[in-house]
Amino acid sequence: MTDKTFILKSSPHFKDKDSVPKIMYAVVLALIPAIFASVYFFRFRALVLVFSCIATCLATEALFLWLRKKTLSSLWDGSAIITGLLLAMTLPPSISLELVIIGAVVAIAIGKQVFGGLGQNIFNPALVGRAFLQTAFPVVMTTWVPPATIKINTATFATPLGNLKFENAIAQGTLTPLGDLFWGNIGGCLGETSAIALILGGLYLLFRRVIDWRIPLGILLSLAAFTGVFWLANPGKYASPHFHILAGGLLIGAFFMATDMVTSPISPLGSWIYALGIGIVVGLIRLFGGFPEGVMYSILFMNAFVPLLNRYTRPRILGERSKG
Amino acid sequence: MKVKTFPRGIHPPELKEWTAEKAIESLPPPEKVMIPLLQHFGSTAEPLVKKGDEVALGQKIGEDKALFSASVHSSVSGKVLSVDDYNHPGGNPVPAVTIANDGEDRLSPEIKGSKDSFSLSPDEIRHKVRDAGVVGLGGAAFPTAVKLSPPKDKPIDTIIINGCECEPMLTADYRLMLEAPEDILNGAELVRIATGAEKIIVGIEDNKKKVVKLVQERILRFQGAVSLLKTKYPQGAEKNLIYALLRREVPRGGLPFDVGIVVQNVGTAKAIWEAVSEGKPLYERAITVSGDGIGEPKNILVRIGTPFQNIIEFCGGLNEQADILVMGGPMMGISQWSLDTPLIKGTSGILAWTSPSPGIEYPCIRCSRCVDHCPMGLVPTRLAKYIRFDNLTEAEKWGILDCVECGCCQYICPSNISLVHWMRLGKNKIASLKRKKSA
């Protein structure tokens, strides 16, 4: 027994079981209802987009890991898969495969790896990829097809928010009913249409404590307050807060995009400011901007403030209040 | 009873069931003890004996010459074999007195009790505690006599007796509260008299309900009360405990004195009582020996200076697969490299288990869990980054010196980053820089 050797390490000697891959795959799991919904509404097309996005992201990630002489095993930490999955969820179903691949390469290369890989990027990689596509191919990115559940013969189709902004839907009485928004029987990006699927996934992430509850709550509250004021003042011109929460990319943004750990603040106060900022910018763009939808830009906009928020919202240290 | 707590912290597996129902057994004194002359926070005691001297049980063998120091006593009777550097659980060799036990346990004639301990003056209590070499038994081993001497301009109103034992696996304090609540409370009363405080609060975590009633019944004789605390780590950390119980914040870099409080661990309170009423020096203490690497986990009363080897043999030996040996608790304990290392006053437990394979370290994904769980309100991930890039000025500005190394951040970190290790490195670097500047 005296010649026994022991491992020497510094404390603590206990470790919680959660890990980066477990967190990443929990997000993937939380997106499964939304994937099912997208397949239900956009059929085989949805699977093709999801698969090609993930495959391209993994390939790009692998290439960069190799270029940077990093171990390829971190390919399976789940982060590239999430970027691919989230990018696919934010694309119009009718987009062509070449553009999907371009978007996915940009997401990983420009959105993540040029900053130094996992944990280093300032902006949400999936949204960087999408913003690139939106800027480079604006027509494709705003051309919508009806879901397979709606039988109409039109080449193009408006999203509920597009309808609201450009077709004067409230006055015409053609505003999309809340029920359709809730279930997803509408046009829009692949994974953003079904509110219920996103809420289920979001609740799972909240329950599993993967995401910071302040962020979705803050976004929902500030958007509801912002749009609510205008709706109460003039319901004939402005849509209700319920409509704004359920329509467009708000829910996928609030639960899955804005909550990205790498690009969101680390202090509780910072998270509140960040979330309130996103909600208000979404409201500003939707009500007064040139675009019908503003979730993507508002998250990217607030991402830029995160380093600043982290610096200036340091939590209070125990004992700071007392005099020394 | 309202359950009190502090913000943040973690809840690791408790694993107290292995030893909670095991009454404290006495480990027979070993043939040889190695008693380090430094077992406390402060400077090394001066040896009073030399090779060949005969010593009695409880005889003073090391003297506290400095204010921040503590005397050391023989834990057996017998002959001094050597006074030389020896293994120490802290990692670096320390001068130690090695004594061959003659098995007679001849008590030193120096040891004298007092009949009416409660009528002693504060100075007399302090003197007896100092003479008996009592130090904090919770782990930090701060000389107790210093804690009993608050500065004149800082009046003390409350004594907190720390019965949290928030570290997983450890149950020795729980057993002491169950088996000797009277001694603990008597010790608490002595602390109250010595510091001139008004009242005593005994803080106990709500996973130890069994002892709450026991202590509550007995505390009625004194100006005191029991307070129930949520089972959460690090509930027993001094500053968090004070905040949880009284909502007072010890100022940054300050001491509990600054907010009128003295905190003593339950084991220390018992040692204070024994030192004053019996004149008994601190030559033995209760510890928990546990973990799935230990044949038969137990709570035992051990003589100071007993090698870990004897302790583990008494507890059913070490399993083949056990590959980590820890002195203290799983969260803050120090990992050990040798079984030929003696038990010191600050040892609260000896634990052994099979360590899981070390996980891969991922980059920080800024998940903020370390921030959400730091009991001190720090931003561990940021501090670790500052230290990594040797930016000591920013690290200090962001409060690295407030870190108590409790380990919550590293426990919770999904990226497996050795955050506490970075904190220690940073604090050491800052300390050595300051030494250089003042030199």
Which chain A residues touch B395 with a CB distance below 8 Å? none
| Strands of the sheet with B298-303, listed across from one edge | B25-26, B298-303, B284-290, B349-353, B324-327, B334-336
Kindly list the residues from chain B whose CB atom is less than 8 angstroms away from the CB atom of residue A5.
323, 337
> How many angstroms separate the CA atoms of A190 and A50, rounded?
9
Strand residues in B248-291 grouped as ranges (E): 261-265, 284-290
**Chains A–B, number of C-beta pairs less than 8 Å apart:** 180
pLDDT above 90 as % of chain A: 72
Most distant CA pair in chain B, distance = 63
| Among the partner residues B337, B368, B410, nearest to A6 by beta-carbon distance | B337
Q: Which of B209, B213, B138, B157 lies closest to B181, judged by CA?
A: B213
Cα(A124)–Cα(A118) distance, integer angstroms: 11
pLDDT in tens, B394-438: 999 999 999 999 999 999 999 999 999 999 999 999 999 999 888
What does the radius of gyration of chain B's CA atoms come to, in whole angstroms? Answer: 21
| Average pLDDT of the residues in A111-126 | 94
> Do the chains contact at A266 and B379, CB–CB below 8 Å?
yes
DSSP, collapsed to helix, strand or coil, labels residue A216 as helix
Contacts of B340 in chain A (CB under 8 A): 2
Would the CB atoms of A318 and B414 count as touching at under 8 Å?
Answer: no
Residue B5 phi/psi, 5° resolution? -160, 180
Displacement of CA B306 from its chain's centroid (Å): 17
Residue A322 has pLDDT above 80, yes or no: no
With beta carbons under 8 A apart, name residues in chain A contacting B330. Answer: 11-14
pLDDT at A154: 63
Rounded Cα distance, B330 and B288, in Å: 12
pLDDT at A157 over 80: no
Q: Are B227 and B204 in contact (CB under 8 A)?
A: yes
pLDDT per residue as tens digits for the range B302-341: 999 999 999 999 999 999 899 999 999 999 999 999 999 9
- Residue ranges of domains in chain B, CATH in brackets: 117-277 (3.40.50.11540), 369-438 (no CATH)
CA distance B93 to chain A (A): 16
**Could you tell me the pLDDT band of residue A74, with boundaries at 50, 70 and 90?**
confident
Which chain A residue has its CA at the smallest distance from B8's CA? A318
Residues of B in contact with A22 (CB under 8 A): 414
CB contact under 8 A, B416 and A15: yes
Mean pLDDT of B182-206: 95
Strands B298-303 and B284-290 come out as antiparallel
Contacts of B337 in chain A (CB under 8 A): 5-6, 8
**Cβ atoms B202, B303 nearer than 8 A:** no
Whole-angstrom distance, CA of residue A68 vs CA of residue B253: 44
* CA distance, residue A289 to nearest chain B CA (Å): 32
- Interface touch B379/A74, C-beta < 8 Å: no
**Which of B168, B9, B189 has its CA nearest to residue B116?**
B189
Whether B77 has a pLDDT exceeding 70, the answer reads yes
Cross-chain residue pair B335–A2, CB shorter than 8 Å:
no
Gap between the Cα atoms of B274 and A107, Å rounded: 69
Q: Distance from B344 to chain A by nearest Cα, in Å?
A: 19
Helix (H) or strand (E) holding B369: helix B369-373
Instruction: State the ipTM, two decimals.
Output: 0.90
Q: What percent of chain B has pLDDT over 70?
A: 100
Chain B hits for A212, Cβ within 8 Å: 368
State mean pLDDT over A214-237.
94
Task: For an interface test with A, give the residue of B255, B308, B361, B362 to mutate (most A CBs within 10 A).
Answer: B362
Q: Does A13 touch chain B (CB under 8 A)?
A: yes
Nearest to A79 by CA among B179, B75, B415: B415
Q: How far off is chain B from A110, nearest CA to CA, in Å?
A: 18
Q: Which helix (H) or strand (E) holds B195?
A: helix B181-195
Indicate which of A13, A22, A213 best probes the interface with B, i.e. most B CBs within 10 Å of its own CB: A13
* A chain contacts of residue B367, beta-carbon cutoff 8 Å: 23, 261
Q: What percent of chain A has pLDDT over 70?
A: 97
Report pLDDT for A143. Answer: 84
Do residues A301 and A275 lie in contact, with contact meaning Cβ atoms separated by under 8 Å?
A: no
Burial of B123 (0-12, 13-18, 19+ CB in 10 A): exposed
The DSSP symbol for B438 reads H
pLDDT, one tens digit per residue, over B206-239 is 999 889 999 999 998 888 999 999 999 999 999 9
- Which of B137, B133, B73, B72 has its CA nearest to residue B267? B137
State both tokens at B255. 């001491």
pLDDT digits (tens, 9 = 90+) for B259-304: 999 999 999 999 999 999 999 999 999 999 999 999 999 999 999 9
Selecting from A12, A317, A319 the residue whose C-beta is nearest the C-beta of B330 gives: A12
Continuous segment of H or E residues that includes residue A206? helix A195-207
Instruction: Looking at the complex, report in whole angstroms how far the Cα of residue B189 sits from the nearest Cα belonging to chain A.
Output: 28
B contacts of A4 (beta carbons < 8 Å): 318, 339
Name the more confident of B437 and A109. Answer: A109
Average pLDDT, chain B: 94
CB B54 within 8 A of CB B79: yes
What SS3 state is found at B323? coil
Query: CB distance from A319 to chain B under 8 Å?
Result: yes
* Closest CB to B371 among A120, A315, A320: A315
Q: What is the pLDDT of residue B115?
A: 84
Distance in angstroms (rounded) separating the CA atoms of residues A222 and A6: 55
- For residue B128 the two structure tokens come to 């007896």
Whole-number average pLDDT of chain A = 91
In this prediction, residues B16-28 reach a mean pLDDT of 95
Give the global pTM: 0.91
Chain B residues with CB inside 8 Å of A2's CB? 309, 339-340
| C-alpha distance from residue A102 to each of A4, A110, A247 (Å) | 58, 11, 27
